[in-house]
């Protein structure tokens, strides 16, 4: 709105300045931009691990055991002589699969149930929300531990366990947003022109819930990664021979006393950097998806 | 000729919820309700603009929302184009919707921020007609043209439009199915002076060109005088006075109307002022006084005002609900 | 009425930086509020009237800044007064009420307590004494049953009552200038009328001058003594209220008067032509040029100065100066 404190900004803009505006926006959010680049680089590395990793992750080399970082082995080697960098890159596949997979599943299920609760309200909403409350009564991490302990710790089960602990967050968020947006005048306008219920939900309500959901999902990815690493660290997550940053950190922790610090530091650093990156991107998205910033695309 | 829309004794009540309401229900033996619209009758003829005025909380917006079935009526009848629509099921009501549209108050909030102008204006056609995509496109652009928006705006989003343009998009969306009756719920009150004038003129032009009927709901009495041929004044869920616009504004019969008119600031420092004011504030529509609903605030109130109020014709076509006229 | 100005705004310019360039929200605006008068500052949204008010209190936020001009209050330029002294002037000698009274009140403290705290803060009164003064204040602004109402919270008050409390709070320090920014927007007509009556009456009784910001010419006609008309950041006309409505001189004022429907008679309504121009990298000259029927090349090059057309009635328009404009 063109109120006096925010004078109207003209809407027609010359194309030549669009690039400049995009640049301005990136510069304003430079931290998030770097974080996004890190995540993108990690995805590329994980996808192309077979070509990018300098060594086979499982290739043992007895002569190169427990080497400190060097030009040959950038991040050093472990007791079997496996290249740590290659292992971290390959482990990234598991980490990112679970991170994105768990988030996607939680997002899909949470949104669907949240939308149903928001649409029907009344008794349906009451029942759904009490179920959610009971799930949330468990500390999320204990719940994830219980699920993997019960189901067994394959990648699929860890993914599922993390997804289950995250469903309530999306559900609550979507439900709240639907409750808010269904009272907006444009929802009323959609009813007055005769939209059936499904069109109101899918065309008019859900797309407008997206911005906070996207932000939540990005922030939750960091949390998913952290949960999985923690599970693996205590031995309830991904099991050897498959490797994962959390379990690698756990393995590496045994060598701290003997001075082989790189085995612990670098997998741990991978977790920290990625979690931080997800959080920074989430914060950046929050700014970027602010409707007032939508003039620039 | 029968009127296009005839509303008779319409009531829209909302039950109160929550612990406070349960306590009241226990104390009074019946669950408390908000009597937002409590027995309203009026007609709108084809090609006519009827103004419905009153202050916030009087129930005028609820009348609008009941007419277009955003809320279901509690009792009463709404005959539209010869058909009783108050009792229609939601599915059957959909068939009436192309003829009965509404324009909302807030031009920004009533547009979906994620849809282009073209999709929003074309949506009713998609829902109610069997037009092809090309026909819809042509009709959408023709309507946009008609409300004074170029076709180049069709691919914009709400946030890329000015306030005046947004309200034109709202009007275009309501017009695209060629409705008979438009319910206008304060369509100009969120607009600036100069935009307001243009939207008022646009509405009047469209009405004349298409023979539209308007139910114009507003608290802006000057705009109502400009647009409406007949005006009904609402107070606390009921209509207290109804008259041709000129008669109502020049010779108000009901004390509430008189106080309302006296409160409107006239843009003329030398205009005579009526010092008539009401005491206090509008009571809650949960605890409605018996008899005349205005009597606690009315400086002219007498004991008779506690009796049920008659609805009298004080001049031809000029009705008022007051013991004292 | 004495002609002594309480506040004298001279060539006030406020700019906002944006990604696309500078937005000049106020362009060399000049006006004064005189002792004991109500000056109406009218304009549409984006005309710069609220920015002008925030600039007077030096509350323009980044990316905005006062880029020029002076604001003389008691002979001192408020733009140059140190911040700690300004704190004493703000709220005490210049008070402000806003168009959102409910959000301006603290929801967790009783209304009476909020008013009383101001007496403690500004006048240094004891708690008991300030509570007594607070009740007097609430009575003064016409709140019925002040003793009971003082113990209530903001959410128990209607919009009109909240605005009365805001006025009471603004007047606790006997300010010399009260800035009322659209004080009746969002209120019902009858409530609005009584808030305006109250402002008028209190202005006369306390001797406070009032700068009333509004977009409603009806409010101006019924409430103000003099009027300054703003268009796109420029003050285009300043006149006594009667003179302005009888003989509007600036083409914008004339168009504005013709563009509003009247409740007291049938009129032919004509909208103001064109649209409010963009304030982004606004060109020199009169900003009404793009909408004006009497525009000529000079209007787009230079900004017309305020010239008198009647006693105390000033207008900034070349067409009026040269006699090209139609007589009023």
Residues 60-119 of B with CB under 8 A from C: none
Task: Please answer yes or no on whether B269 and C241 come within 8 Å at the CB atom.
Answer: yes
Task: Please answer yes or no on whether A194 and B115 come within 8 Å at the CB atom.
Answer: no
Lowest mean pLDDT among A240-244, B213-217, C7-11: A240-244
Task: Enter the DSSP assignment of C46.
Answer: T
| Touching partners of C (3+ C-beta pairs < 8 Å) | A, B
Q: How far apart are CA C319 and CA A10, in angstroms?
A: 28
**Angle formed by the axes of helices A155-181 and A84-120, nearest 10°:** 40
Confidence of residue A163 (pLDDT cuts 50, 70, 90): very high
Q: How far apart are CA B102 and CA C193, in angstroms?
A: 30
In the structure encoding, which two tokens stand for residue C142, read together? Answer: 């016409």
∠C119-C120-C124 over CA atoms, to 5°? 100
Does position A6 have pLDDT exceeding 50, yes or no? no
Confidence of residue A13 (pLDDT cuts 50, 70, 90): very low
SS3 C209: strand
**Res A293: pLDDT:** 52
Which burial class, exposed, middle or buried, applies to B152 when counting CB atoms under 10 A from its CB (0-12, 13-18, 19+)?
exposed
Closest residue on chain A to C19 (Cα): A21
The side-by-side arrangement of strands in the sheet containing C209-214 is: C94-97, C177-181, C209-214, C38-42, C226-231, C234-240, C313-315, C307-310
Q: How far apart are CA B152 and CA B111, in angstroms?
A: 18
Does position A118 have pLDDT exceeding 60, yes or no? yes
A214 touches chain B (CB under 8 A): no
Mutate which: C12, C20, C22, C41, vs A, most A CBs within 10 A? C20
Contact B323, B292 (CB under 8 A): yes
Beta partners for residue B50, in sequence order: B215, B230
A11 touches chain C (CB under 8 A): no
∠A34-A35-A36 over CA atoms, to 5°? 90
**Res C149: pLDDT:** 92
Q: How far apart are CA B258 and CA B322, in angstroms?
A: 12
Confidence of residue A5 (pLDDT cuts 50, 70, 90): very low
Does position A295 have pLDDT exceeding 60, yes or no? no
Q: How far apart are CA B200 and CA B191, in angstroms?
A: 11
Task: Enter the DSSP assignment of A136.
Answer: H
Average pLDDT over residues B246-254: 95
Kindly report the nearest CA distance between residue A21 and chain C, in angstroms: 7
**Res A290: pLDDT:** 65
Residue-wise burial string across A110-125, b where 16 or more C-beta atoms lie within 10 A, e elsewhere: bbebbbbbbbeeeeeb
Q: How far apart are CA C255 and CA A212, in angstroms?
A: 45
**Angle formed by the axes of helices B117-128 and B133-146, nearest 10°:** 120
Contact C6, C73 (CB under 8 A): yes
Q: Which residues of C touch A24 (CB under 8 A)?
A: 19
Q: How far apart are CA B158 and CA B162, in angstroms?
A: 8
| Domains of chain C and CATH, by start | 5-105+157-322 (3.40.50.300)
Task: Please answer yes or no on whether A4 and C51 come within 8 Å at the CB atom.
Answer: yes
| Choice between A293 and B262, residue whose per-residue pLDDT is larger | B262
Does position A3 have pLDDT exceeding 70, yes or no? no
Does position A12 have pLDDT exceeding 80, yes or no? no
Does position A296 have pLDDT exceeding 70, yes or no? no
Does position A21 have pLDDT exceeding 80, yes or no? no
Mutate which: B168, B235, B255, B265, vs C, most C CBs within 10 A? B265
3-state secondary structure chain B: CCCCEEEEEEEEEEECCCHHHHHHHHHHCCCCEEEEEEEEEEEECCCCEEEEECCCCCCHHHHHHHHCCCCCCCEEEEEECCEECCCCCHHHHHCCHHHEEEECCCCCCCCCCCCEHHHHHHHHHHHHCCCCHHHHHHHHHHHHHHCCCCHHHCCCEHHHCCHHHHHHHHHHHHHCCCCCEEEEECCCCCCCHHHHHHHHHHHHHHHHHHCCEEEEEECCHHHHHHHCCEEEEEECCEEEEEEEHHHHHHCCCCHHHHHHHHHCCCCCCCCCCCCCCCCCCCCCCCCCCCCCCCCCCCCCCCHHHHCCCCCEEEECCEEECCCCC
Contact C293, C214 (CB under 8 A): no
**Reported CATH class of domain A42-293:** mainly alpha
Does position A47 have pLDDT exceeding 60, yes or no? yes
Task: Enter the DSSP assignment of A37.
Answer: H
Residues 232-261 of A with CB under 8 A from B: none
Residues 187-206 of A with CB under 8 A from B: 188-196, 199, 203-204
Contact B148, B68 (CB under 8 A): no
- Closest to C234 (Cα-Cα) out of C54, C39, C51, C18: C51
Q: How far apart are CA B105 and CA A291, in angstroms?
A: 21
**Res B280: pLDDT:** 83
In the structure encoding, which two tokens stand for residue C217, read together? Answer: 């010419």
Chains A–B, number of C-beta pairs less than 8 Å apart: 70
Closest residue on chain A to B172 (Cα): A193
Task: Enter the DSSP assignment of C187.
Answer: S
Cα C196 to chain center, whole Å?
13
In the structure encoding, which two tokens stand for residue C150, read together? Answer: 């003082």
Contact B68, B110 (CB under 8 A): no
The label of the residue with tokens 């937002």 reads B36
- Closest to C51 (Cα-Cα) out of C27, C81, C31: C27
Per-residue pLDDT tens over the stretch B61-115: 999 999 999 999 999 999 999 999 999 998 999 999 999 999 999 999 999 998 9
Superfamily for B5-320? Answer: P-loop containing nucleotide triphosphate hydrolases (3.40.50.300)
pLDDT cut 90: percent of chain B above it:
77
The label of the residue with tokens 């330029």 reads C77
Task: Please answer yes or no on whether B161 and A203 come within 8 Å at the CB atom.
Answer: no
Kindly report the nearest CA distance between residue B189 and chain A, in angstroms: 15
Mutate which: C19, C61, C282, vs A, most A CBs within 10 A? C19
C19 touches chain A (CB under 8 A): yes
Residue in A185, A193, A294 nearest the CB of B106: A185
A3 touches chain B (CB under 8 A): no
| Touching partners of B (3+ C-beta pairs < 8 Å) | A, C
**Res A71: pLDDT:** 84
Of the segments A210-219, B25-34, B205-214, which one has the largest average pLDDT value? B205-214
Lowest mean pLDDT among A281-295, B128-142, C179-193: A281-295
**Res A18: pLDDT:** 63
- The chain-wide mean pLDDT, for chain A, equals 85
Confidence of residue A297 (pLDDT cuts 50, 70, 90): very low
Residue in C190, C245, C256 nearest the CB of B259: C190
Does position A289 have pLDDT exceeding 60, yes or no? yes
The label of the residue with tokens 């990112």 reads A96
Task: Please answer yes or no on whether C47 and A21 come within 8 Å at the CB atom.
Answer: no
Closest residue on chain B to C252 (Cα): B194
Confidence of residue A14 (pLDDT cuts 50, 70, 90): very low
Does position A53 have pLDDT exceeding 90, yes or no? no
B226 touches chain C (CB under 8 A): yes
Q: How far apart are CA A100 and CA A159, in angstroms?
A: 9
Task: Please answer yes or no on whether C46 and A21 come within 8 Å at the CB atom.
Answer: no
Residue in A189, A204, A207 nearest the CB of B104: A189
pTM score, whole prediction: 0.87
Does position B269 have pLDDT exceeding 80, yes or no? yes
Does position B177 have pLDDT exceeding 90, yes or no? yes
Contact B283, B290 (CB under 8 A): no
- Closest to C12 (Cα-Cα) out of C25, C22, C26: C26
- Closest to B105 (Cα-Cα) out of A141, A127, A184: A184
Which burial class, exposed, middle or buried, applies to A180 when counting CB atoms under 10 A from its CB (0-12, 13-18, 19+)?
middle
Per-residue pLDDT tens over the stretch C124-159: 889 999 999 999 999 989 898 899 999 999 998 888
Residue in B249, B260, B273 nearest the CB of C190: B260
C49 touches chain A (CB under 8 A): yes
Per-residue pLDDT tens over the stretch B43-57: 999 999 999 999 988
Q: Which residues of C touch A10 (CB under 8 A)?
A: 20, 278, 280
- Closest to B45 (Cα-Cα) out of B244, B277, B268: B244
Q: Which residues of C touch B271 (CB under 8 A)?
A: 221, 264
Residue in A2, A3, A9 nearest the CB of C280: A9
Task: Enter the DSSP assignment of C304.
Answer: P
Phi, psi of C301 (to 5 degrees): -90, -50
B102 touches chain A (CB under 8 A): yes
Q: How far apart are CA B297 and CA B300, in angstroms?
A: 9
Kindly report the nearest CA distance between residue C126 and chain B, in angstroms: 33
Q: How far apart are CA B112 and CA B122, in angstroms?
A: 13
In the structure encoding, which two tokens stand for residue B99, read together? Answer: 């003829």
CA atoms within 13 A on the CB side of B230: 19
**Res A17: pLDDT:** 57
**Res C121: pLDDT:** 86
Which burial class, exposed, middle or buried, applies to C327 when counting CB atoms under 10 A from its CB (0-12, 13-18, 19+)?
exposed
Average pLDDT over residues A62-67: 82
Q: How far apart are CA C32 and CA A21, in angstroms?
A: 41
Those residues of chain C that have pLDDT short of 50 are: 1-2
Closest residue on chain B to A11 (Cα): B160
Q: Which residues of B touch A193 (CB under 8 A)?
A: 97, 101, 123-124, 127, 173
Task: Please answer yes or no on whether B281 and C220 come within 8 Å at the CB atom.
Answer: no
Q: Which helix (H) or strand (E) holds A176?
A: helix A155-181
Q: How far apart are CA C11 and CA C24, in angstroms?
A: 13
SS3 C211: strand
């Amino acid at each position: 709105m063109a109120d006096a404190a925010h004078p109207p900004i003209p809407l027609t803009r010359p194309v030549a300045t669009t690039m400049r505006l995009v640049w301005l926006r990136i510069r304003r959010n430079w931290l998030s931009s770097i974080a996004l680049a890190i995540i993108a680089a990690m995805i590329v590395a994980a996808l192309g691990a077979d070509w990018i990793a300098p060594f086979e992750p499982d290739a043992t080399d007895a002569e190169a055991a427990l080497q400190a970082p060097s030009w040959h082995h950038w991040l050093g080697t472990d007791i079997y002589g496996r290249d740590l960098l290659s292992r971290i890159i390959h482990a990234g596949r598991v980490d990112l699969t679970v991170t994105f997979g768990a988030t996607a599943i939680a997002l899909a299920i949470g949104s669907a149930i949240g939308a149903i609760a928001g649409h029907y309200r009344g008794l349906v909403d009451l029942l759904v929300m009490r179920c959610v409350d009971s799930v949330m009564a468990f500390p999320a991490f204990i719940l994830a531990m219980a699920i993997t302990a019960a189901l067994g710790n394959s990648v699929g089960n860890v993914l599922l366990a993390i997804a289950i602990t995250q469903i309530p967050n999306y559900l609550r968020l979507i439900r709240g947003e639907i409750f808010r947006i269904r009272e907006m005048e444009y929802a009323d306008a959609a009813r007055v022109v005769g939209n059936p219920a499904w069109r109101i939900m899918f065309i008019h309500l859900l797309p407008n819930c997206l911005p906070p959901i996207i932000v939540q999902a990005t922030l939750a990815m960091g949390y998913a990664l952290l949960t999985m690493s923690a599970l693996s660290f205590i031995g309830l997550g991904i099991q050897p021979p498959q490797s994962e940053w959390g379990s690698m950190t756990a393995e590496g922790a045994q060598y701290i006393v003997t001075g082989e610090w790189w085995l612990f530091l670098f997998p741990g650093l991978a977790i920290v950097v990625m979690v931080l990156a997800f959080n920074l991107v989430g914060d950046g998205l929050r700014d970027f998806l602010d409707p007032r910033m939508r003039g620039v695309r | 000729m029968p009127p296009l829309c005839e509303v008779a004794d319409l009531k829209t009540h909302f039950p109160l919820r929550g612990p406070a309401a349960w306590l009241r229900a226990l104390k009074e033996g019946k669950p408390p309700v908000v009597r937002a619209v409590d027995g309203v009758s009026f007609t709108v003829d084809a090609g006519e603009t009827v103004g419905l005025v009153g202050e916030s909380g009087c129930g005028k917006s609820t009348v609008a929302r009941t007419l277009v079935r955003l809320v279901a009526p509690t009792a009463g009848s709404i005959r539209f184009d010869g058909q009783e629509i108050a009792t229609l099921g939601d599915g059957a009501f959909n068939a009436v919707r192309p003829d009965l549209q509404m324009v909302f108050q807030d031009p920004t909030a009533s547009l979906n921020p994620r849809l282009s102008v073209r999709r929003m204006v074309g949506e009713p056609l998609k829902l109610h007609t069997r037009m092809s995509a090309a026909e819809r496109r042509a009709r959408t652009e023709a309507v946009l043209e008609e409300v004074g928006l170029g076709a180049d705006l069709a691919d914009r989003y709400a946030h890329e439009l000015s306030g005046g343009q947004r309200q034109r998009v709202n009007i275009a969306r309501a017009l695209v199915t060629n409705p008979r009756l438009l319910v206008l719920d304060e369509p100009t009150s969120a607009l600036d002076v100069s935009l307001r004038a243009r939207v008022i003129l646009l509405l009047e032009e469209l009405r004349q060109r298409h023979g539209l009927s308007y139910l114009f709901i507003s608290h802006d009495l000057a705009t109502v005088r400009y647009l409406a041929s007949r005006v009904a004044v609402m107070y606390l869920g009921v209509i207290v006075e109804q008259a041709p616009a000129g008669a109502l504004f020049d010779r108000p019969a009901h004390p509430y109307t008189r106080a309302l008119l006296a409160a409107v600031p006239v843009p003329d420092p030398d205009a005579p002022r009526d010092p008539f004011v009401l005491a206090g504030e509008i009571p809650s529509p949960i605890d409605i006084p018996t008899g005349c609903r205005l009597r606690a605030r009315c400086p002219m109130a007498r004991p008779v005002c506690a009796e049920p109020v008659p609805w009298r014709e004080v001049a031809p076509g000029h009705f008022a609900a007051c013991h004292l006229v | 009425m004495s002609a002594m100005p309480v506040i004298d705004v001279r060539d006030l310019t406020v700019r906002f930086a944006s990604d696309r360039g500078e937005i000049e929200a106020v362009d060399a605006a000049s006006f004064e509020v005189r002792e004991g008068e109500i000056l109406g500052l009218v304009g549409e949204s984006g005309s710069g009237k609220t920015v002008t008010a925030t600039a007077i209190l030096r509350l323009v936020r980044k990316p905005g800044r006062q880029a020029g001009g002076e604001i003389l209050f008691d002979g001192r330029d408020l733009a140059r007064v140190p911040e700690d002294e300004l704190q004493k002037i703000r709220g005490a000698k210049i008070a402000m009420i806003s168009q959102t009274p409910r959000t301006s009140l603290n929801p967790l403290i009783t209304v009476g307590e909020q008013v009383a705290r101001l007496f403690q803060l500004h006048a240094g009164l004891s708690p008991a004494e300030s509570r007594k003064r607070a009740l007097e204040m609430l009575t003064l602004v016409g709140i019925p049953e002040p003793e009971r109402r003082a113990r209530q919270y903001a959410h128990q008050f209607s919009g009109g009552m909240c605005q009365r409390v805001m006025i009471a709070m603004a007047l606790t320090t006997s300010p010399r200038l009260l800035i009322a920014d659209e004080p009746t927007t969002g209120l019902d007509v009858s409530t609005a009328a009584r808030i305006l009556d109250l402002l008028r009456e209190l202005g006369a009784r306390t001797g406070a001058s009032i700068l009333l910001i509004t977009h409603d010419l009806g409010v101006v006609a019924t409430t103000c003594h003099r009027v300054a008309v703003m268009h796109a950041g420029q003050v285009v006309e300043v006149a006594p209220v009667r003179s302005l409505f009888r003989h509007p001189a600036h083409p914008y004022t004339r168009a504005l008067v013709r563009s509003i429907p009247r409740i007291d008679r049938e009129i032919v309504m004509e909208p103001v032509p064109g649209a409010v121009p963009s304030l982004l990298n606004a060109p020199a000259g009169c900003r009404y040029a793009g909408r004006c029927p009497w525009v000529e090349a000079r209007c787009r090059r230079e900004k017309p100065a305020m010239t008198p057309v009647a006693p105390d009635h000033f207008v900034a328009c070349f067409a009026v100066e040269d006699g090209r404009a139609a007589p009023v």
